[in-house]
Amino acid sequence: MEGYLQKQGFVFSSRRYFVLTNTGLLCYANKEDRSEVRDSFPLAPDTQVVEIKIKDKLKLRLKNEGLTWTLSADEDDEAEGRRWADALATAVARLASLSKGHPPGGHGEGTRELAHNPARKVVVIEGTEFVIDPRYEVTRRLGNGAYGVVVAAKDTVTGKAVAIKKCFNIFQSLSDAKKIAREVRLLRQMNHPNITRITTVIPPLSATFDEVYIVSELMDIDMHNLMYLSREKITPDHVQFFIYQVLCGIKYMHALNIIHRDLKPSNLLINANCDLKICDFGLARGIQSNGPAQDKECDLTAADAAAPEKPKDLLSEYVVTRWYRAPEILLNPRNYSKPVDIWAVGTIFGELLARKPMFPAHNYDHLVRLQTRTLGSPSEENLKWVTREKARTFMRSLPQYPRRDFKSLYPEASGPALDLLEKILQWDPAKRPTAAEALSHPYFDDIRDADFEQESDMIIDWGDLETMRTTKVNLQRYLIQDMVSMNPESSALLKMVAHESTGKAAGAT
């Protein structure tokens, strides 16, 4: 089911286009442009779908642990609202049935071979089918979102524990498929101890596949869950080592002219030895040396923050989860570069020191106000980098605040830690240290390791990802190139996708 709904925000409601999938609700800016998913709500067997009346108008409240959405039918059409309620309830009931071992087709929890291909087996775990190589023994489900499910498994050939992510219906949104293709191509080539590695992408049985299985190193927990859900105590030594490793990974990727654009605690994976790896490179971009990334303009007024944005651009402004977003992405979105990653490290650093987010903003306007209250109002000198007069005018209109004393904000932090944090969280991107400069700070003097601070002069081979027509067949071809590179025995897939591409072209003439 799909259609327009009103989504209640912190203050305003926004009209968005929604698509209900088997495992989630996808939110787009509008029906015509589905190039990028604006938001998503993962459905689970215990998701609550509640109908409520507010001022005699029907509202739907979706609730998972830690996530609540309130929706209403477009123009308060109660009949349409009830159709959505029924569809959502049916989707949740289906997931609940699957979780009890009753997936479609009558197969319960367990494993079976595919009758037509003994080189693959089907594993059903909590209602989700994984069609994988028999070498992998799935042990447990790790998590899920609107786009995929992740399980832990044992590779019986190497004896190592791995994570397998199933990305399903990936071509429902070509922009999402492109993110997967970009991440696979990038992680296949990068090699650094603080960046997650893809072990392989399991080749599909057909060139017309619509799901992808990505196998990677298994880590124990992400930083967000470590901070807020784990009982483990995070000591100052932990904070120092975590931030050191993040900066080492960033130094490596920045030397390759890659900006991550989505650094946040949930994208930092940690194991029991406190080893840290940066993950989720779907929004990463290659840039020309130290040149800027280019993005569309965004206008920071309260009205604009509540109005529907138009996400057609070269680099979307929704690049970093809002709380970790650098000022230049909002104020100068046509001209940002590597310092956006450094800013994100600063916000993560502050969060580790205080065990709470630095800038938990409700919208873009609120974000800049929170940044101003902590960092102080920027001087004209510190706003020279803002080239858009409207953004400069907006900043001048804000109340004037002095810079907060970081020692009062983080009383238990050491002097070197506070000094580094002060140096990182600068309004002017040019005044922030590079990753290499940050690593040279005295805060890290007693833990530096040359093996972690390695760089590479490799040039990332992006192929024709950014120049080809973004079609399903082209993206299948692109992904298969990487699959075959990691699994040479599957080279026949290249001929299959070439044949499929030729057939599509012939059908179009």
* C-alpha–C-alpha distance, residues 367 and 360, integer Å: 7
For residue 495, is it within any domain? yes
- Entry pTM: 0.74
Residues 70 and 111 in one domain: no
- pLDDT above 80 for 147: no
**Last residue of some domain: 425, 444, 463?**
444
Q: Please tell me whether residues 132 and 211 are part of one structural domain.
A: yes
Domain boundaries, position 389:
221-444
Determine whether 262 is an active site residue.
yes
Token duo for residue 238: 């932990």
**Catalytic hit among 133, 155, 176, 262:** 262
Residue 462 lies in a domain: no
> How distant, in Å, are the alpha carbons of 1, 6, 81, 84, 299 from that of 49?
16, 16, 12, 10, 35
Indicate the number of domains in the chain: 3
DSSP per-residue letters across 192-215? -TTB--EEEEEPPSSTT---EEEE
Instruction: Check whether residue 82 and residue 142 sit in a common domain.
Output: no
Same domain, residue pair 137 and 271: no
**Sequence-ordered list of residues with C-beta below 8 angstroms from that of 219, at least 6 positions apart, any chain:** 163, 196, 269, 270, 271, 275, 277
The stretch 443-464 carries a mean pLDDT of: 94
Residue 311: its pLDDT value, please? Answer: 34
Q: Same structural domain for residues 328 and 209?
A: no
Range of lowest pLDDT (111-115, 227-231, 364-368, 387-391): 111-115
Q: What is the pLDDT of residues 342-377, one digit of tens each?
A: 999 999 999 999 999 999 988 888 899 999 999 999
- Tell whether 458 is covered by a domain: no
User: Which residue in the block uniquely carries the two structure tokens 């080592």?
Assistant: 241
Same domain, 169 and 191: yes
CATH number at residue 414: 1.10.510.10
Please state the residue numbers annotated as binding site for ATP: 166
> Considering the domain boundaries, does residue 28 fall inside one?
yes
- Whether residues 395 and 315 share a domain: the answer is yes
pLDDT tens track for 253-301 = 999 999 999 999 999 999 999 999 999 998 899 887 555 554 433 333 3
Whether residues 68 and 84 share a domain: the answer is yes
Is 451 part of any domain? no
- Give domain status of residue 296, yes or no: yes
- Same-domain status, 90 and 110: no
pLDDT (mean) for 211-236: 93
* Percent share of the chain, pLDDT over 70: 84
Residue 323 forms part of a structural domain: yes
Residue at a domain's end among 76, 99, 122: 99
3 state SS of 113: strand
Residue 213 has pLDDT above 60, yes or no: yes
DSSP reduced 3-state for 132: strand
For position 123, which CATH number holds?
3.30.200.20
